Amino acid sequence: MQQRRIGRTDLHVSKICLGTMTWGQQNTEAEGHAQMDLAFERGVNFLDTAELYPIPPKPETQGRTETYIGNWMKARRNRADVIVASKVVGRTANDWFRGGRPSKLVRADIFDAIDKSLARLQTDYIDLYQIHFPERQIPWGSNPMRVGNWPAPRDEDETPIAETLAVFDELAKAGKIRHFGLSNESSWGVMRFVAESDKGVGPRVASLQNAYNLVNRTFEVNLAEVCDREEVSLLPYSPLAQGYLTGKYDHGARPEGSRSQLFNRGQRYETPNAAEVQLEYNELARSFGLEPALFANAFVTSRPFVTSNIIGATSIPQLNMALDSAEVRWTDEMQQAVDGIHQRTGNPCP
């Protein structure tokens, strides 16, 4: 499988990254290990996880996903062959991360997070350590403000970006992390981190992990130029829009055992007009003779600004299809058809 470089780093990752957020909730440890075995047999060398996982977050399951990955790497004795990305939570009132108190992006909390993640992963270092979401108050995913969301409130105790970045500098110098990345961040946020690192405050941001898919191309509005000119790699998540671009939810269907049927967490992809647009893309995929999931993943992987597409699966057949998307030849005709829908419908699920 083709590999691509993350930012200005020495990390070369497969163009497909194996997402892991279902392991420990929808998937057992054995199923997670089977997914990793298959993905690595097919050329994947990149895993993305977080202290938050599995999803949905709960105190009784928090951290299980990292534990499963750590057990797998220990059993396979392959840590040197695996590029591991993990994340620290931003500001949250959920108190189970820090032993009974809320969490922020301050030194004590970041060190607490990294040490616990390293222990669960059974490793001395994390290759790419990311801020899962900003500490400041902005809409989830850091997407453009809409009426009612602006101006965003500001917390009096908001931690300055320079202060947070300096902590990551400590982690890098201590050998706990190799590189630093962001997630669910805005254009302003990325540039502030870049500006501080350019002043010598801390490590330079190497990557950005934001949602990107057929029904959410907001990355292209401002962030594409920021990331291109500043050499920050996009690691897109949710290429299937939480399953809505697989076709399984077409016409209001809710299959037994699906994420939408199990958890009430699909609001981002249940906005006005979303179902109609998702159906149009799914039918477009079928018109090209492709399964919608294969088509949607191939679209993301084919984008010139995508370094590694973070795929997710709860079954081996789903995983095989996601991996197969790396081999799909994305044509000009496909792109023109996709852009035609996008021109009419925009981003219904930002």
The least confident of 92-101, 138-147, 195-204, 225-234 is: 138-147
pLDDT for position 65: 98
- The answer, yes or no, to whether residue 147 has pLDDT greater than 60, is no
Give the span between the Cα atoms of 82 and 124, in whole angstroms.
13
Q: How many domains does the chain have?
A: 1
Q: Is residue 255 part of a domain?
A: no
> Which of 53, 68, 212, 244 is labelled catalytic?
53
Q: Is residue 280 part of a domain?
A: no
Positions of E strands within 132-189: 177-183
Q: Is residue 279 part of a domain?
A: no
Mean pLDDT computed over every residue of the chain: 94
Structural domain boundaries, residue 84: 3-243+305-328
pLDDT for position 258: 62
The least confident of 51-65, 130-144, 254-268, 329-343 is: 254-268
Query: For residues 225 and 199, is the Cβ–Cβ distance under 8 A?
Result: no
pTM: 0.95
Residue 85 pairs in a beta bridge with 48, 128
More confident residue, 153 or 188: 188
Q: Is residue 293 part of a domain?
A: no
Query: For residues 50 and 132, is the Cβ–Cβ distance under 8 A?
Result: yes
Give the span between the Cα atoms of 25 and 14, in whole angstroms.
26
Q: Is residue 267 part of a domain?
A: no
Query: Which residues, including other chains, have CB under 8 Å from residue 259's CB and lie 6 or more apart?
Result: 26, 242, 243, 265, 266, 314
More confident residue, 256 or 338: 338
- Which three-class secondary structure state does DSSP give residue 248? coil
Q: Is 53 a catalytic residue?
A: yes
Q: Is residue 347 part of a domain?
A: no
Q: Is residue 274 part of a domain?
A: no
Question: What CATH code is carried by the domain that includes residue 93?
Answer: 3.20.20.100
pLDDT, average across residues 311-333 = 97
| pLDDT-derived band at 249, boundaries 50, 70, 90 | confident
Question: Regarding beta strands 16-19 and 12-14, do their DSSP bridges make them parallel or antiparallel, or are they unpaired?
Answer: unpaired
pLDDT, average across residues 117-136 = 97
Q: Is residue 335 part of a domain?
A: no
- The answer, yes or no, to whether residue 101 has pLDDT greater than 90, is yes
More confident residue, 257 or 48: 48
Percent of the residues in the chain that have a pLDDT greater than 70, as a whole number: 95
- The answer, yes or no, to whether residue 110 has pLDDT greater than 80, is yes
